[in-house]
Amino acid sequence: MVNCSLRKILLTVEYFGKNYAGWQCQKGQQSVQGVLEEKLSKALNQQIKVYGSGRTDAKAHALGQRAHFFYAGNMPCEKIASAVNCHLPDDIRITESVEIFDSDFHAQYSAKSKTYMYKFYISRTLSPIRNLTAAQIPCHESKVDFEKMQRAVKNLIGTHDFKGFSSVGSGIKNTVRTIFDASLTKKDNEITLVIKGNGFLYNMVRIIAGTLVWIGIGRLGEDAIEKTLQSGLRKNAGKTFPAHGLTLLSVEY
């Protein structure tokens, strides 16, 4: 039940996920949501519960996670960010706080789409610096056919049943999603996937990332994405790539 005198505040949150068991509160583990709720409650002097746009995986990052909460107080909304930020650890920051006057708005249910980024670097040796936010493709650059990956990624666009791109046992029933855009860019030995869709299944972006890499190194054919979409079989896709290469870029309303 929502008290009418409560204000609704929408946050944009950036985090480096290495030290967190993901966005969502989990017993006995440090979560971004948990830290945010603790510090918001402290800074605003009231018990705050935040409603995120959705979970992010353990160790995954966000540049534009969104979350709303209800607040009984007079602090100007743009001040809330700085009031809380000074209590937050350096790996989490509220980059924007705005007031929402639409009583139906919900950070999760009002989202029209989300955009994820997955970063790779091609190197036989792990790079301590790149590996902070990108996943290693452990081979020589000449072994990765980037053009093939670029052609293959386009097959994701559209409305498809993405069952084959979700982790077995996730238990979700409706596995149809629409991908509005998906593209790959390359600069030196770094490859970046940007993918925008109306929703993503559990591990979907990380399985897509792994499938693209396996297409690039020839371990899967160029048609592996179509095959996985058509069959719905997880075994036709590549491996689930690690979470530390994944960043939630933005949530669109």
Report the residue from 25, 94, 207, 243 that binds a second copy according to the rule CB under 8 A. Answer: 94
Q: Nearest Cα to 113, choosing from 171, 177, 161? A: 177
Is the CB of residue 11 less than 8 Å from the CB of residue 66? yes
Q: Which of 168, 234, 166, 202 shows the shortest CA–CA distance to 24? A: 202
Query: Per CB under 8 A, does 92 bind a second copy?
Result: yes
Taking the C-alpha atoms of residue 118 and residue 44, their distance in angstroms, rounded to an integer, is 35
Q: What string marks each residue from 133 to 152 as x (binds a second copy by CB under 8 A) or -?
A: x-------------------
Q: Residue 93 Cβ, how far from a second copy at the closest point, in Å?
A: 5
What's the min distance (Å) between Cβ of 63 and a second copy? 7
Does 16 interact with a second copy (rule: CB under 8 A)?
yes
If one asks whether residue 188 binds a second copy (CB under 8 A), the answer comes out as no
Residue 59 contacts a second copy per CB under 8 A: no
Catalogue the long-range contacts made by 152-160 (C-beta closer than 8 Å, 24 or more residues apart): 152/212, 152/215, 152/222, 152/223, 152/224, 152/225, 153/182, 153/183, 153/184, 153/193, 153/212, 153/225, 154/182, 155/225, 155/226, 155/229, 156/182, 156/195, 156/208, 156/225, 157/181, 157/182, 160/229
Does the footprint of a second copy cover residue 76 (CB under 8 A)? no
* Active site positions, annotated: 57
Q: Is 175 in the site for a second copy (CB under 8 A)?
A: no
Q: Indicate the residue among 22 and 164 with the shorter CB distance to a second copy.
A: 22
Pattern of binders to a second copy over 106-125, x per CB under 8 A? -------------------x
CB of 81 to a second copy, least distance (A): 7
Helix (H, G, I), strand (E, B) or coil at 97: strand
The smaller minimum CB distance to a second copy, of residues 14 and 145, is found at 14
Nearer to a second copy, 128 or 171 (CB): 128
For residue 38, give the H/E element and its range.
helix 32-44
> Nearer Cβ to a second copy, position 19 or 167?
19
Interface size with a second copy, residues (CB under 8 A): 23
Task: Kindly list the residues in this chain that would bind a second copy in the complex (CB under 8 A).
Answer: 14-16, 61, 63, 81-82, 85, 90-95, 125-129, 131-133, 247
